[in-house]
Chain A
């Protein structure tokens, strides 16, 4: 069921982005501010509990969820915007809250982004995030020619960042990223999920630059 999206939203970057990619969080805060959107952030980096839930720690997840719901109620937050596919899935399915991806907000303001590029880029579709068209529309609007990877959208491949594999089987997670780079025929590969960005950037070969979506917008 699609819930009505409140004008005022909480930008919830998720714990990974907050802890490890503060410049990306900063980018989105700046973008939303420049677009004069009615949003706010929490000063602290809370966790939606996705990693607890997916790894089998149900009680811990329920505790986190209860605390988060009470926090959201206290702050009168009715809707959220996030970068993270895991957060998006968790808020929608387990918290039953309206949530959108950052690209689904930014795509409404394409006319405000100047055309500043004239090159080809590839985009990797995270199976956890499953938001396909909005990032493409944004990249197209700023002048990129988006070249789809051979396996894209719902036929995408795993990259190794999924399901806790980075922490539990790091060398397999690294191996899983290789076919993504083999499919990429451009110098730049754009991703719009922070965990995927962190993983692919770490494992990218020298000839491919992995960029997070906000890095080409800011």
Chain B
């Protein structure tokens, strides 16, 4: 599997792109995101991705776009670019050890002690 530097912008990842079919936006395809990553752009658009690499089937250079997008999300968190839902999720994990906030604080101590 390759990084976005190997993306040749051929557009073959448009094939079977559910996000493209649902929105009509090139920006949401693997190629669109590869262009943004190559140009160093951090944007919440990277949170709109399935991270399934379904499009790698059609990519002639086997770009691992999911891994590249996950790395972008790490950079975005470092730069404080988060969604409201993700913020809530991670606060729940930090406090309760669970994204849904199910466990009470004392219970999580018990589990991990």
Contact = CB atoms under 8 A, between A and B. Distances in A.
Interface of A: 15-16, 18-20, 42, 44-47, 49, 51-58, 60, 64, 67, 70-71, 127-128, 151, 154-158, 162-165, 167-169, 172, 175-176, 179
Contact of A47 (B18, B77, B99, B107): B99
For the complex of A and B, list the 5 residue pairs with the smallest distance between their C-beta atoms, beginning with the closest: A56-B73, A162-B50, A167-B85, A56-B77, A127-B52
B98 A163 contact: no
Contact of B49 (A44, A163, A175): A163
B43 to A, nearest CB: 13
Contacts of A53: 70
Nearest to B83: A168
A175 B22 contact: yes
Contacts of B93: 47, 49, 51-52, 57, 60, 64
Contacts of B21: 179
A51 B77 CA distance: 13
B6 interface: no
20 contacts: A19-B100, A44-B107, A44-B108, A45-B102, A46-B98, A47-B93, A47-B99, A52-B93, A53-B70, A55-B47, A55-B89, A56-B76, A57-B93, A60-B94, A70-B112, A155-B57, A158-B18, A158-B50, A165-B49, A165-B50
B57 A154 contact: yes
Contacts of A56: 70, 72-77
Interface of B: 16, 18-19, 21-23, 47-52, 54, 57, 70, 72-77, 83, 85-86, 89-90, 93-94, 97-100, 102-103, 107-108, 110-112
A16 B99 CA distance: 8
Interface of A is mostly: helix
B7 to A, nearest CB: 19
A178 B107 CA distance: 40
B18 to A, nearest CB: 4
Interface of B is mostly: helix
A18 B97 CA distance: 13
A167 B98 contact: no
Nearest to B96: A47
B18 A179 contact: yes
A71 B83 contact: no
A52 B90 contact: yes
A55 B86 CA distance: 7
A168 B28 CA distance: 14
Question: Which of A55, A70, A169 counts the most chain B CB atoms within 10 A?
Answer: A55
Contacts of A64: 93, 97
